[in-house]
Structure 1
Amino acid sequence: MPLPAAPDYATASLADVLPSVCASLGVPSALGEPAWSGRLGLPVARRAVVVLVDGLGADQLARRLGHAPWLRAQAATTRRVPAGFPSTTATSMGTFGTGSGPGEHGMLGYEVLVPGEDRVFNELSWEDGPDPERWQPGRTWFERAEAAGLEVVRTGPGFFDGSGLTRAALRGGRFAAAESLAGRVDAALRAVRTSPRALVYLYWGEVDKLGHVHGPESFEWTTELESVDRELARLAAGLPDDTSLTVTADHGMVACPHPTRVDVAEEPTLREGVHLLGGEPRATHVYCRPGAAADVAAAWAARLGERAWVLRREEAVAAGWFGPVAPVNLARIGDVVVAAADDLAVVDSARMRPQLLALVGMHGSLTGEELDVPVVHVPARVA
């Protein structure tokens, strides 16, 4: 089966959204250039609000625009960009917050190996994880914006404040906790109205949660999209004239039927030579016993056939799946990397919680349904 095209990190991707917004606000580039436009070339503004809707893939949105009148009104100028691989929240938050690709920031999956410690940890929950600032030491664009004199405010659920993922990928500025989407919109409006120069970030996760539980084509997913659209319209209407609004996402999603899944716990040939499993059902990092990587790759490729792309670490890196990879991050990648095609999910009932095994919607792989996210930008009415 031919390899899928790697995400285009060099032209425009999720990594370019926050840097481009910052450029429009006059924040110097990572190289210190005081006047630059970022890859997206956004118009100048004095204040900006950036909304990230978890799980709002470009394809899923396109099929449901009839339920989202505000987003439909922006469709002509909405861009489609790849989130990056793996197409999963922890990785994409690193990409979004740092403005660099997965291989550079090193947040490479839902669960990844801690080199030298013989264990994997969950980058989403960060339970028993390494020091976040050491795991991802690069400056975030929130830190850069704050250093440039902007008031930086991030709003989301209270437990995000100070969490490992937030510290690693989204540190900088102050946090304004709010539980409901309406409350977060209110917090964003208060923040942007009270500062002459501001960057405000708003996160919403219910679209992703409902897609996981019910599927991305479900009634529940669509109903949540309608609610999000109403609040985005209210947010846009309430912004000061010199304030831009950008809406994006971290990944899309596909439905993975339970009967067609492959369970590693029930497949002895998939366990031979395997030391640890990381990643997630649509993008699996296989950490092998010494000298076993070639045999493991062959066994997984033979079992999964055309339902997945199975590459050795060096092959996945050479194919550009992660973008440029910093040497310090190489060992975090599986000795074998498995990216699911069609609707495959590779699970491990011996170690996964029942709640995870019950999910319908999944993401992480290289299909357009999972990779592509929208970038909606409404310029400031006056510069």
Structure 2
Amino acid sequence: MTVATVPAYDAGGLAGVLPRVVASLDGPELTPAATQAPLPAATRAVVVLVDGLGAQLLRARSGHAPFLRQATAAQDPHIPSVLTAGFPSTTATSMGTFGTGLPPGTHGLAGYQVRVPGTDRLFNELDWIDGPDPLQWQPRPTIFERAVAAGIPVTSVGKGRFEDSGLTRSALRGASYRAARDLPSAVDAAAAASRAADRSLVYLYWGDVDRAGHQFGCESWQWGETVEQLDTELRRLRALLPDDASLTITADHGMIDIPDSAKTDVATDPELRDGVELVGGELRGPQLYCRPGAAADVLAAWSERLGDDGWVMTRDDVVATGLLGAVAPEVLPRFGDVFVAVRSAIGFTDTRVMNPRVVALIGQHGSLTDAEQQVPFIHLPAR
């Protein structure tokens, strides 16, 4: 099975961002990525992750982001300005990759909706309602925990509801948390935290760009306006930081607009539903949990239906291709028996298990296309 993009889980991908930044603070080399593509030394660092800010979107609509456009143009040519997010290209999985420095096959945050092995139910790794213990689901140490253990204070800034969420506890634990009501207050909090210690790492997460893309479409004027607001605040953040602080900006995935007319509901499609117990994953990257012995028939039915519109793979194919990176045996059963990665502007839902509000969203992601996989990596060194 040949796919367009096999994500990187080293310095070329989201997994390498925090290890490289920690190493730049004269911290430990937590993963090989720290030495593969070292960053200029700094005393303090701020890392901003903008949910949904795909690299292709940023290039196409760079008129809304003059600060980010100028920063990208001025970046050291030895530091590539585009990374891959990982597969599936969705927030929960990407946060696991970003926060642990490990690939999805190891950290085990398998997607938007995931079947708990040994059960017949899905749980949502974003809201974590009725989910398993986050520390048991993802027990490996996070980069924040390892940085703190090495003597680097870490502060996380974001909306208050994320402070003790299951996803935070699973993938991003270890930092002290500062809640912010809006982006300007988050920028103020990040700048203050950066100045509060002689050596520090500050992480700022913001989700408004992703929200605008989902609700209005990533080609909408609302998306552009939200990026303009972000760009203004990132420029202000750079000006507020101490001279010995670096600023790194990245994202967790890109996005593509999918009209309702291009969405197929598996719940009402007998051909696609046959042999499938549960449809997990996301609209652009369904993971099909099959009835015993049915995986081959499910693979054939979905392959025939999609043709050139996507890639349909068994779980073994996905592992062998390296799409999940190194795979730990204990997390393998969390992933679907059959994976679908959509190539064209279509998507698949299952209204039996997917929230209607999510089904109706315009901007979608989860697949292997460059629009969804490529994320910016903008590094402004200490002055």
Distance in 1 (alpha carbons) for counterparts of 2:87 and 2:44:
31
Deviations along 1:305-354, whole A, 9 cap, x unmatched?
Answer: 22121111101111111112111111111010111111111011233222
Within 5 Å, give how 1:22-41 maps onto structure 2: 22-30=22-30, 37-41=34-38
Q: Which amino acid aligns with 2:113?
A: E
Q: Considering only aligned residues, what root-mean-square deviation do their CA atoms show, in Å?
A: 1.5
Cα contact 1:83–1:371 (8 A) shared by 2: yes
Distance in 1 (alpha carbons) for counterparts of 2:65 and 2:337:
43
Q: Single out whichever of 175-184 and 64-73 deviates more from structure 2.
A: 64-73
Within 5 Å, give how 1:207-246 maps onto structure 2: 207-246=209-248
Q: Single out whichever of 64-73 and 93-102 deviates more from structure 2.
A: 64-73
**Structure 1 residues 112 and 37: CA distance shift in structure 2, 3 A:** closer
Within 5 Å, give how 1:210-359 maps onto structure 2: 210-359=212-361
Deviation at residue 304 of structure 1 after TM alignment? 2.1
Point out where structure 1 has 5 or more consecutive residues left out of the alignment. none
Q: Is 2:52 the counterpart of 1:55?
A: yes
Distance in 1 (alpha carbons) for counterparts of 2:11 and 2:174:
27
* Partner secondary structure for residue 134 of structure 1: helix
Distance in 1 (alpha carbons) for counterparts of 2:287 and 2:278:
8
Match of 1:68 in 2: 65
Cα contact 2:11–2:17 (8 A) shared by 1: no
Distance in 2 (alpha carbons) for counterparts of 1:108 and 1:238:
37
* Partner secondary structure for residue 327 of structure 1: coil
Cα contact 1:193–1:240 (8 A) shared by 2: yes
Cα contact 2:11–2:34 (8 A) shared by 1: no
**Structure 1 residues 11 and 27: CA distance shift in structure 2, 3 A:** closer
Distance in 2 (alpha carbons) for counterparts of 1:14 and 1:8:
8
* Partner secondary structure for residue 231 of structure 1: helix
Deviations along 1:152-187, whole A, 9 cap, x unmatched?
Answer: 110101111111000000001210001200010010
* Partner secondary structure for residue 309 of structure 1: strand
Cα contact 2:279–2:353 (8 A) shared by 1: no
Distance in 1 (alpha carbons) for counterparts of 2:211 and 2:361:
10
Q: 1:375 aligns with which of 363, 373, 377?
A: 377
Point out where structure 2 has 5 or more consecutive residues left out of the alignment. none
Q: 2:105 aligns with which of 103, 107, 115?
A: 103
TM-score in terms of structure 1 length? 0.96
Match of 1:15 in 2: 15
Match of 2:123 in 1: 121
Match of 2:89 in 1: 87
Q: Which amino acid aligns with 1:152?
A: V
Cα contact 2:55–2:376 (8 A) shared by 1: yes
Deviations along 1:80-125, whole A, 9 cap, x unmatched?
Answer: 0100000000000000000111111111100111112232110011
Distance in 1 (alpha carbons) for counterparts of 2:191 and 2:259:
41
Deviation at residue 137 of structure 1 after TM alignment? 1.0
Q: Single out whichever of 38-47 and 362-371 deviates more from structure 2.
A: 38-47
Distance in 1 (alpha carbons) for counterparts of 2:160 and 2:327:
33
Q: Percent identity?
A: 56
Cα contact 1:19–1:38 (8 A) shared by 2: no
Deviation at residue 277 of structure 1 after TM alignment? 1.2
* Partner secondary structure for residue 50 of structure 1: strand
Distance in 1 (alpha carbons) for counterparts of 2:113 and 2:242:
41
Distance in 2 (alpha carbons) for counterparts of 1:376 and 1:39:
17
Distance in 2 (alpha carbons) for counterparts of 1:2 and 1:275:
27
Distance in 1 (alpha carbons) for counterparts of 2:188 and 2:327:
40
Cα contact 1:251–1:363 (8 A) shared by 2: yes
Deviations along 1:197-247, whole A, 9 cap, x unmatched?
Answer: 111000100000000111111100000000000000000001101111000
Aligned length: 378
Cα contact 2:109–2:138 (8 A) shared by 1: yes
Q: Which amino acid aligns with 2:325?
A: G
TM-score in terms of structure 2 length? 0.96
